[in-house]
Structure formats: structure tokens, C-alpha cells
Amino acid sequence: MTLVSGWGRFPVVDSEVLRPRSFEAVGAAVAQVTGSVARGNGRAYGDAAIGVSRTIAMTGFDRVRSFDRATGRIRLEAGVLLSDLIDTFGPRGFLPFVVPGTRFVSVGGAIAADVHGKNHHGEGGFGRYVDSILLRTGAGETIEVSRVQHPDAFFATVGGMGLTGVILEATLRLRSVETGWIRERVISASDLDAAMRALEASVSATYSVAWIDCVARGRDLGRSLIYLGEHARTDELAEGAARFPAGKNPGLGVPIDLPSMTLNRYSIRAFNELYYRMGARRAGGDHVVSLYPYFFPLDSISDWNRIYGRRGFLQHQCVIPEAGARAVLGDILDRVARRGDASFLAVLKKLGHGDGLLSFPLPGYTLALDFPVKGDILNFLDEIDRLVVAAGGRLYLAKDARQSRATFEAGYPALSRFNAIRKSLDPAGNIRSRLSQRLFDEV
């Protein structure tokens, strides 16, 4: 057995990690035991990609099967990372339609979590650009699922957290781009109302996201920098700039677990103050930035999860339906600011409809916050969850390590339909993760 954890390094649990080299071996790995689940690049924060007894590592399956330049359609194995896709096909003028905040996720993981990016409000999630999926079910069948063929299984697999079976391959559509640069505009917003107004006013922007200074209190509560982006055309690049920027692998790293006191209310306050002022100075006109820092600001620091120390951290990402969002978000931010230990990563973003049965997005606002694991944080997050549930919101399973069944069931009304489809694909319940054990499975 091996100690396994997600990106948040909480919880850490025992699971047997297998690294099969063929799809047959994947099938055997699933069939031999009860309670296995696939794992991509391990960027889910909590317990989603940890098998109850066995974890099936999929990153060895990293082949592209075919690519059609005319349509941008690509067939690939599930372990291909988005970073690999971007580095390989970006210079040829193609990018994934949807990228989350890190490029170091696998295609299989991106489908299973139906990840969203800064364009979700207009263009939807990762699953919207998936044409079909080769799935190895818990019952031992290997089936191709799409919107036409086994549509129930398709919409349960998109956002299904790997619980419908092991995603082996997928066919995606890539976006044709002229360059690998983004024309960025920064807007500074002095409080939460201004931030939400700015996001609302920029729904026609392809990309939009707000960074919130969640230390700011009182009349500064919710002060933000909003980053809008459009794909830059060739004629918008600086003279002599390469059409596609170099994607540097992370250089600077966090080699050790920092003492958990490194991030305290004073260091975070100082960081946020500086970050806000520097950003506010850039606000105004458009400028062209590489896609790498625009989409993946934290990827340049490898192992940044270690700055929260040995005990790990929790990310709390909720979405609140549009109608009640202002009041609830204000309440959450106020409680967080009064606690004083969150988080130099606080992100506010407008979302649209989700596609999968268990996809996280719904029309409204999503707020993501990081907290180190210490003190009474679990109780505090339970309080926040009550506000989320009361407002008709839900939590993102790919980030979750601790929500209660009640919170989960309240947030995902399609759950019973999902469970029925899952049961038909896996009657014996072979596919089980720590997350499913915590939230889905009969006890």
C-alpha cells in the first residue's frame, strides 16, 4: 500500500497504486478488487482520485491517436496532460477550448471533473468540447459513449468524477487560434458590488475572472482585480514576437514544506495589499500577455501546495445562483475577512450552465478560497456550507475533501439519476473512490 493524497495533501490515506501499461491491464486492475478508481495527474484537491482499495494511475497512457488539422478534432489517450496538448498543438495553431487554472491536469481528469475555465460564462466547460469517450465500465465492458451513443453514460461520465468507469480515450475538439497570446485588460474594483458589476458588464468577454483581496474588510470588502482576455491576433503582437510563446517548465519550486505559520494574517495582508496596488496600476488599456501566465499563474511555481505546510490545505469552491449571490458572497467574504487566515488565492467568476449530470457549474457566481488545515477550520467551513445550501448553491467535487452528505445531496438534484446510471454500468460497485465512499455509496 502507498500513502496517497490529492493536491491539497489532505486527507492522506492508504491505497494500492497500480500503473497498468495496457487497456487490458486496466480492465484486470478494476476487475480484481472492489473499490478502485482512476487517477490522472493528481490535481484534484481532496479524495476524488484515491481508490478505496486501489488507485489506477493513468498518466502512462499519453499517446495522441490522431489529429485532423481541418477540423481541430483530436483523439487521444486519457493520460495526456493539457500542458502537453498546449505545448504540442499550440505552435500548430490549436489550443484546448477550456483550460482550468493549472495546465498540469490529464484529459481524463478534465472530463471527469468537467473542469471550467475563465470562459465558462460564454463557452461552457471542458465536457462541451468532448465528442466521445472510450469508457471501461465497472461491469467489465469497454464502450464508446457520446451524445448519440449511450448518451446517459456520456452525461454521467462528464463531471462524473471517474465513477462511471475508467476513461481510456476521448475525442475532443480543439480551438483554432492565430497566436498563443492573450490581449488582457485589468479592471480594478473597489468593493464586491463593483467587482460583480464589472463581471456582469463583461459577459461578452471571452475570458473573465476576478481576484479578490479577501483580507480587505469594511468598505473595502470584496475589492478585486478583474482580468479580461481575448485571443490576440497576429497583428496585435509586438514586433518580432514569436507567434507562440515559449512554455517554460516550472523553474522556481517549493522544495520543502514551509512551516505552517509562513502564511499568517500579516504576510497574507502584506501580499494582498501589494498585489492589489500593482494590479490596479496596470488597470486600464489592453496589453498582450503570454497564455501561460494569463491562464496558469501558479504553474510557474512547482509544488506550490507545499507553502501551506505539512498538514495540507483545503480549497472551498462554491457556486451561488445568480439571484441571491450578492448577499451570500458578501456574508461569506465578511466571515472570511474576520477570521483573517484566508488565503492569497481567492477567485470570483461568473459561470454558465453545466453539461454533465454532476457538473459543478450553474448560472451564478463561483468563489474559491484556500485555507490551511488547522484549528477549527472544518467547523468554519460547515458554517459556510450552510449559507451555500440555503442559497441553492453547491460545492465543486474536484476541490472537495470534507463536505457532508447533506450538503452534497442538497446541491446536486440530479444525483439519483446519476446513481441509477452508475448502477447500470457497474452493478457490483467495483468503481469506488474515497470521495464516493464519503458522499455517494450506500453504507
Partner 1 sequence: MTSRKTVLVLGGSSDIGRAAARAFAKAGYDVGVAGRDAAALEPDAADLRARYNIEARTWTFDVLDTASFDGFVAGLPVLPDVVVSIIGLLGVQPSAESDLAHATAIMRSNYEGPSLILGLFAEKFLGRGNGTIVGVSSVAGDRGRASNYVYGSAKAGFSAFLSGLRARASRGGVHVVTVKPGFVRTKMTEGMKLIGPLTVDAPVVGDAILAAVAKKTDVVYISGKWRLVMLIIKTLPEAVFKKLKF
Interacting residues with partner 1 (CB under 8 A): 19, 21, 63-67, 74, 88-89, 92
**Residue 206 beta carbon to partner 1: minimum distance, rounded to whole angstroms:** 27
Q: How far apart are CA 159 and CA 422, in angstroms?
A: 13
Q: Which is nearer to partner 1, 62 or 341 (CB)?
A: 62
Q: Which is nearer to partner 1, 18 or 205 (CB)?
A: 18
Q: Which is nearer to partner 1, 19 or 386 (CB)?
A: 19
**Residue 89 beta carbon to partner 1: minimum distance, rounded to whole angstroms:** 8
Whose CA is closest to 89, among 105, 78, 76? 76
Q: Which is nearer to partner 1, 21 or 338 (CB)?
A: 21
Q: How far apart are CA 171 and CA 57, in angstroms?
A: 20
- Cβ-Cβ contacts under 8 Å for 210 (sequence gap 6 or more): 189, 195, 198, 199, 224, 225, 226, 227, 347, 348, 349
Length of the chain: 443
Q: How far apart are CA 165 and CA 58, in angstroms?
A: 13
Q: Which is nearer to partner 1, 84 or 230 (CB)?
A: 84
- Spacing of C-alpha 125 from chain mean position: 10
Report whether the peptide linkage leading into residue 363 is cis, meaning its omega lies within 30 degrees of zero.
no
Q: Which amino acid is at 291?
A: L
DSSP 26-92: HHHHHHHSSSEEEESSS-SSSSTT-BSSEEEE-TT---EEEEETTTTEEEEETT-BHHHHHHHHGGG
**Residue 35 beta carbon to partner 1: minimum distance, rounded to whole angstroms:** 22
Strand partners, 319: 366, 394
Q: Which is nearer to partner 1, 63 or 265 (CB)?
A: 63
